[in-house]
Amino acid sequence: MALGPELLLRHMAGLVTLGASLLLLSLCAHRIDPAGSVPIPSSCCLSFISKKVPENRVVSYQRSSASVCPVTGVIFTTRKGQKFCGDPRQHWVQKYMKKLDARRKTASPGVRAMSTKAPVQGYPANTTSI
């Protein structure tokens, strides 16, 4: 069944219009943010690590803010500066946090004591030349 030239032109014009409309719609939809959308800070956890990282590689942690982030999490930092998120409900995450807190408490008094000591008076260097 062959279409006449006039019907074929109408059909093609309809397809071109449909294609242009879809293109325009996709461009507009890409630029519109949903109502009430808020950018998520980089200090938020969006997902949690599935594997347990060796404890000796972790040097610090911080909690992600529940008031700003969609998910409450714990951001751990490794010796190499890499960051990963742990689920605060997981036992190993709680254990790492307690150990890091204890390590921080034992390190803090020593640092304070060193800073309160008087400087050591030394003897003048021996300036005798050979």
Task: Dump pLDDT digits (tens) for 18-50.
Answer: 555 555 555 545 455 444 555 556 788 889 998
Which range, of 42-46, 61-65, 98-102, 109-113, averages the lowest pLDDT?
109-113
For range 71-98, the mean pLDDT? 93
Of 104 and 8, the structure prediction assigns the larger pLDDT to: 104
25-34, 54-63, 116-125: least confidently modelled range = 116-125
- Classify domain 41-106 by CATH architecture: Beta Barrel (2.40)
CA pair distance 3, 11, nearest whole angstrom: 10
Token output for 99: 């150990």
Question: 105: helix, coil or strand?
Answer: helix
Q: Is the pLDDT of residue 126 over 50?
A: no
Give the whole-angstrom CA distance, residue 128 versus residue 109. Answer: 42
* Cα–Cα distance for residue pair 22/1, rounded to 1 Å: 29
Q: Percent of the chain at pLDDT above 90?
A: 32
The structure's pTM equals 0.52
Amino acid identity, position 95: K
Query: Does the pLDDT value for residue 3 go beyond 70?
Result: no
